[in-house]
Copies of this chain bind each other. A is one copy, B any other.
């Protein structure tokens, strides 16, 4: 068996291989990715598909002088293997040495930290402009998938690339898939280009003013090396459209393009399989929505290409036109929802908060300013959590909280969550953002955790009339306002205050973050001198700051805000984050002691 990888510690070593040896190298890299991702999890199909293209790029171009910008960069594993980071793919002890995305701190061959979609062309146009202003002449290459191309930023970039008159190479990696199927009119055009071996007159790249080449077999190293040699040093922008096979090398991933996009570590997957079907926030949400849809044909669920999170394939098939995947197009998703609401429909958008950042202006101008009814379920992949810095949900509530006209809710229990969804879809008649809870913490869990009944039993778990705070336990001296997912932490803080300070604290579930319940806060003045706010996200712009402001002119109430500092965190362990932000019952009790 050949073992080319042994001798490759960077692109210079790769260039020593004969062209005929490149397919052998591809087999080795593919095997390494198959083995690692199966064991440790990660992006699967996207990386398996681009092994040959990555080899050919590094064979022909001179990285890092020539600059390759990987879109989303979830397909950068082969690139990492070829640029000095192979141990992280070959040696299980080093599997966690690298992140799943490009990262300049890892290698000089990585130019940006990337995890969002459709950014590569614009950033590459910028690299090219910076090159030109400095009088250099390196090649700049953007590597982007067909799924990413529907993103507004990518299309803006394509349009601007088309107006350039200097070197820029855009490699379009067309594997016929987004995370799920592609959605949008442009994909018919890409299909025609594939069907005509790139000869079709219908060519959006030429339309945007770009030169164009087509490679029918984007997994053929010889063809790829040839085309990259042709375009190396080109004096104008060109698109090299390569047709690749997502998931190549894994029969399972080739058959199951959507499921094969990303996979869990094998051990975790087996655990889940053994556990059988269990309820999850996703399953509870989709069951609720499907029932709503059956009763009301104007309810429509919308995703921007993340259907896998929340909308399983069989659901999509059952509800038909009551489900829309707009593709990777968050701006459109929100404006689209606003239009539906205006026309008498009941749109429900599910979107991760990190991607919702793409639609900040649409949330404000196209939706909130209009006041059209729409339910936005803001998902996170974890807020104060060990996520990649490119996917953190830590900023979602602060983002939504700076937008006027949005009603922002943060349910703390499963029952509240469903009651809020019900209200928002059927009765709110305005735009509502619901921060989806991370767990199915229930009212029963809450009662059990408290060791007794909640103070106020209400008909339903969400008082839709005045969006008021909900008092979970009435006490004195200290009021704990624990937002959404942090209600459980609030219960623990309350127990700690009882144990350490003998204080029977009041515990409040604020339920909304977009405004304070002034009446509830004012009512605290009588018996309390310290208010503690707990929120699973950024302090700046968050809910706690508004509570603090309510009491800022009032020397009788000390307010202690707990949440995240304004910073980026990259896969920082949760306990480290919670410690750093003092989100621990012991620490909070100590702060309260000083404040009492």
Contacts and interface: CB of A to CB of B under 8 A. Distances in A.
Contact of A401 (B347, B366, B541): B541
Contacts of A129: 300, 324, 336, 339-340, 343, 345
A555 B555 contact: yes
A518 interface: no
A157 interface: yes
A432 interface: no
Given A112-B338, A116-B365, A153-B335, 5 more contacts: A116-B361, A125-B339, A130-B342, A207-B207, A551-B552
A129 B323 CA distance: 11
Closest 10 CB pairs of A and B: A162-B185, A126-B339, A152-B152, A130-B343, A185-B209, A122-B335, A360-B360, A159-B184, A357-B361, A130-B345
Contacts of A591: 553
A136 to B, nearest CB: 8
Contacts of A365: 114-116, 119, 357, 390
A134 B548 contact: no
Interface in A248-297: 297
Nearest to A538: B402
Interface string A532-554: 00000011110001101101111
A322 B160 contact: no
B341 A130 contact: yes
Given A125-B339, A341-B130, A357-B360, A153 B331 contact: yes
Contacts of A297: 133
A175 to B, nearest CB: 18
A559 interface: yes
A571 to B, nearest CB: 14
25 contacts: A114-B365, A116-B365, A123-B339, A125-B332, A126-B340, A126-B342, A129-B324, A132-B321, A133-B345, A152-B156, A155-B156, A156-B327, A159-B332, A160-B183, A160-B326, A160-B336, A357-B360, A357-B365, A358-B361, A360-B361, A405-B567, A545-B545, A548-B549, A552-B561, A553-B559
A404 interface: yes
A590 to B, nearest CB: 12
A208 B189 contact: yes
A568 interface: yes
Contacts of A112: 338, 342, 366, 370
A385 interface: no
Contacts of A332: 122, 125, 153, 156-157, 159-160
A202 interface: yes
B335 A159 contact: no
B123 A366 contact: yes
A131 B298 CA distance: 9
B186 A123 contact: no
Contacts of A427: none
A329 interface: yes
A68 interface: no
B207 A186 contact: yes
Contacts of A595: 553
Interface in A312-350: 321-322, 324, 326-327, 329, 331-332, 335-345, 347
Contacts of A156: 150-152, 155, 326-327, 329, 331-332
A509 to B, nearest CB: 21
Tally of this chain's copies: 2
A331 to B, nearest CB: 4
Given A113-B369, A126-B335, A134-B344, A552 B558 contact: yes
Interface in A25-70: 67
Nearest to A591: B553
Interface in A102-160: 104, 111-116, 119, 122-134, 150-153, 155-160
Of A111, A119, A337, chain B has the most CB atoms within 10 Å of the CB of A119
Contact of A552 (B132, B163, B514, B559): B559
A155 to B, nearest CB: 4
A357 B364 contact: yes
B344 A369 contact: no
A521 interface: no
A298 to B, nearest CB: 5
A113 B370 CA distance: 6
A52 B391 CA distance: 49
A306 interface: no
Given A298-B133, A365-B390, A395-B402, A209 B189 contact: yes
Contact of A546 (B153, B204, B322, B540): B540
Contacts of A357: 360-361, 364-365
Of A155, A322, A329, A591, chain B has the most CB atoms within 10 Å of the CB of A155
A332 to B, nearest CB: 4
A210 interface: yes
A553 B533 CA distance: 12
B157 A335 contact: yes
Contacts of A343: 67, 126-131, 134
Given A126-B338, A344-B134, A548-B548, A185 B157 contact: no
Contacts of A153: 152, 331-332, 335, 362
A545 to B, nearest CB: 4
A560 interface: yes
A482 interface: no
A494 B337 CA distance: 49
Contacts of A366: 112, 116, 119, 122-123
